[in-house]
Amino acid sequence: MKRREFIILSGIGATSASLLSACGHPEEKLIPAFIPDDEYVPGIDYWKASTCGMCPAGCGIIVRTREHKANKIEGNPLHPVNRGALCARGQAGLEVLYNPDRIKGPMKRIGERGEGKWEEISWDEAIKTLADKLREIKAQGDADKVVFATTARQGVTGLVAEHFVSTYGSKLLVGADVLTQSRYHLAYATSYGLRPDSQAIPSFDIANARFLLSFGARFLETWHSPVMYSLAYGEFRHTSGLARGKFVQIEPRMSLTGANADEWLPAAIGTEGLVALGIAQVIIREGLVKNVPAPGSLLSINAFGFSGDGVAPTPTAELISKHIEVYAPEQTGSLTGIAAEKIVRIAREFASSQPALAIGSGTIETGSGQNTTVNHGIEQIRAIHYLNQLVGNVNKPGGVLLPEAEPFDPLTNWRDKNRAGWLPMIGEIAAGPIVSALLIHQANPVHNEPRMADRIRTLPFVASFSSFLDETTQLADLVLPDHSYLESWDIKASQPVKPSAVATLTRPVITPELNTKQTADVLLAVSQEIGQSIPFTSAEAIVKQAALELPSAQRSVKTESAEDPWEKVTERGLWIGDARAGSEDTNKSVVSGPSAAAALDAIRKFESQHVSDAEYPLTLMTYEHMTLGDGSFANLPALQELPDTMTTVMWGSWLEINPQTARTLGVADGDLVEVRTTEGEVTVPAVLYRAISPDVIAMPYGQGHSAYGRYGSTGANAALLNPLALDAEGTTVRARVSKVEGKANLIRFGTELQQRMEKKAWR
């Protein structure tokens, strides 16, 4: 293979494929700085294309390396998802690579579980220790009780785990995001006629819409692919030659996305679906559309005259209007908190400003029996997306773009049809069957689901593949630290707005900094040690072979050129083809039907735990922190240092409370308050926040680690109050707030406290 390495001088941006590094790593030479050659010049920047690993969006990146080190990450201008842009998380990726608290090599526990006493061991001993334990478990007949849990289901790690677990004899593959994804997949599938198990997620063409109606979708912060939709929003606002698009955000608490809207409407918690149906009712009753699709199970089936054999008359505008009038804004205004005249005006604007687009999922009220119309969030999402069908804006520019076939998967030719399916973590670990061993990768359930801590402590054996000593890894018996994403091999699909097949490459941009190994390679080594036959040799080999097979992966794809696929992928960091008709095989879904049903059962069970409003008079919204996420990035000081855009708080947690509510509680800005729910309580500073409903309080996830290195142990853990919302976005709980004694260190950008801390840090 021809070796190519492209260079640019420091300070000059990479703007074309010729500026990106191809295959080959000249820094692997022993002393390249003393023996320069044509492939390596000291003092020169080498840019290498890869994929960001800081969230599932799959943005393309180019990494600047110089003399063995990576020293800057930028967006890849050739990638259709982020088009050269990159968010704060992506920019902070180097702090994962060079974090002083990274685990430097494999370790085994020598003290009591959770005591924090470890012994460093070799990789040979670590692999043998895990293999011996798995052989012992299998000999006892408990192989089917071994759980492998990860957040990386879609790429090489998930592929190898599927084969590893299935070959070993277990079916317990656990994905930390299964619950959320199941909810979205089912809602989108039933809204747009997609197969519920297809894993298909529509794209939303915000850029070409003229009216955007969002029901709590924080697309400028954390929703789906925030970089991609932020770029689209910029085009939505600055389309030349057209009228400026209008944006309306409906949510109980004003987010950064809501602050960018032309109009913000504070709907009551859990009533966003009622607002959507009210808009639909106005559009239908005023004849603003001619062809009215049936709203399906949003309304009673019997109301449309279905007979016993399931046959129903063709729904007409008159028939549907008659039965949807119960949702008229004049009747639901007292529930939603939005005046009827506003709903009527929004409905008229939405129907007349074409193309118009409705997005989002709203919130789920779990502590009040009033919201009986919208059932456990699924029907709420359907109600919202019914608006897109109502105005005929499906598969049109500025509307909802449905996938033309099965979701593209560059590893599809390597997947076993009979492999184990992925199950939701909340059920399979917290309340599932007896577990003989837990192998956990890139997941921290002890922090995200605190009620799991006692459960994990009782497990006979725990092996962690974490790069950091987080709360879950502290309870492990064996630690086999993974590479960072800047040292790993992977290939998976990305989903741009315009439908196409996009495979994006993750590859090592430098040699590993520490004595770590990629988890997929560790699983393969353990399989070989215990005599299992898996058709892979290494993560690198899987990625290279998958790249060579891209033109035939899963579907017929028209390539951009006849160039060698591997050469092309490594040079640009991605591969793009034209999506066409999918494979006839329809059994390739990652989450099976029963798994999705189990996930929804978990939501229903949680929602049924209502408490009295007298004891818990407020509703707590717990939301994902814009930069720290669910807490996975709380150990990165660059992200801790970024002020929250709406409150300017940094390096800590806070509770947002309406000033009107605060006065009734005797709480002033910065006071220390206790927040209590049926799940637990935390003590945090109060921030008076005008843009939130008086009966709602809000707190971000991300902080409150009890173990996660020197930077992560700050603030309070919102998951102690509402753990389920991490798996079912928008889920709320009832809460109460009381002022407590003590001094709150509320650090805000530009405050005296921040200046004192910075001065102390520099000493």
Domain at 686, CATH number: 2.40.40.20
Half-sphere exposure of 637 (CA within 13 A, CB side): 9
Tokens 């785990």 belong to 161
- Answer whether residue 424 is part of any domain: yes
Q: Does 211 lie in the same domain as 126?
A: no
Q: What are phi and psi of 545, to 5 degrees?
A: -70, -40
- 223 with 302, same domain: the answer is yes
Assess whether 471 and 359 both reside in one domain: no
Assign residue 84 the CATH number of its domain.
Answer: 2.20.25.90
Residues 439 and 348 in one domain: no
Helices and strands (H, E) in the chain, number of each type: 22, 28
Residue where one domain finishes, among candidates 401, 430, 451: 401
**Strand, coil or helix: 254:** coil
Cα atoms found within 13 Å of the Cα of residue 498, Cβ hemisphere only: 9
Whether 458 is in a domain gets the answer: yes
What per-residue confidence (pLDDT) applies to 380?
83
Same-domain pairing of 113 and 137:
yes
State residue 123's pLDDT score: 97
Phi, psi angles (nearest 5°) of residue 305 = 80, 30
Crossing angle between the packed helical segments 272-285 and 317-324, to the nearest 10 degrees: 140
Residue 430, in any domain of the structure: yes
Q: Which stretches in the chain have pLDDT values below 50?
A: 1-24, 26-37, 297-313, 368-375, 554-562, 581-611, 762-763
What's the structural domain count of the chain?
4
Instruction: Give yes or no: residues 263 and 354 share one domain.
Output: yes
The residue among 711, 726, 731, 717 whose CA lies nearest residue 683 is 717
What integer pLDDT is reported at residue 383 of this predicted model?
87
Are 345 and 469 in a shared domain? no
Single out the residue in 350, 367, 401 at which a domain terminates: 401
> 538 lies in a domain?
no
Asked if residue 188 is part of any domain, the answer here is: no
E strand or H helix that includes residue 454: helix 453-457
The burial of 716, by beta-carbon neighbours within 10 Å (0-12 exposed, 13-18 middle, 19 or more buried), is given as buried
pLDDT at 211: 96
Question: Do 371 and 446 have their domain in common?
Answer: no
> Has residue 292 been placed in a domain?
yes
pLDDT in tens, 70-120: 999 999 999 999 999 999 999 999 999 999 999 999 999 998 888 889 999
Burial of 14 (0-12, 13-18, 19+ CB in 10 A): buried
Q: How many CB atoms lie within 10 A of CB 720?
A: 18
Are both 77 and 136 inside the same structural domain? no
Q: Choose one of 76, 98, 120: the last residue of a domain.
A: 98
Residue 307 shares a structural domain with residue 426 = no
List pLDDT tens digits, range 629-639.
Answer: 889 999 999 99
User: What share of the chain in percent tops pLDDT 90?
Assistant: 49
Tokens of 448: 């995200």
Q: What integer pLDDT is reported at residue 614 of this predicted model? A: 83
Task: Please report the pLDDT score of residue 556 as a whole number.
Answer: 38
Output phi, psi for 149, to 5 deg: -120, 140
pLDDT at position 398 is: 93
Question: Are 364 and 469 in the same domain?
Answer: no
* Distance in angstroms (rounded) separating the CA atoms of residues 737 and 698: 11
Note whether residue 509 is domain-resident: no
User: Angle 340-352/272-285 helices, nearest 10 degrees?
Assistant: 60
Domain with 149 in it: what CATH number?
A: 3.40.50.740
Same-domain status, 6 and 68 = yes
Asked whether residue 580 is assigned to any structural domain, the reply reads: no
Domain range for 384 is: 203-401
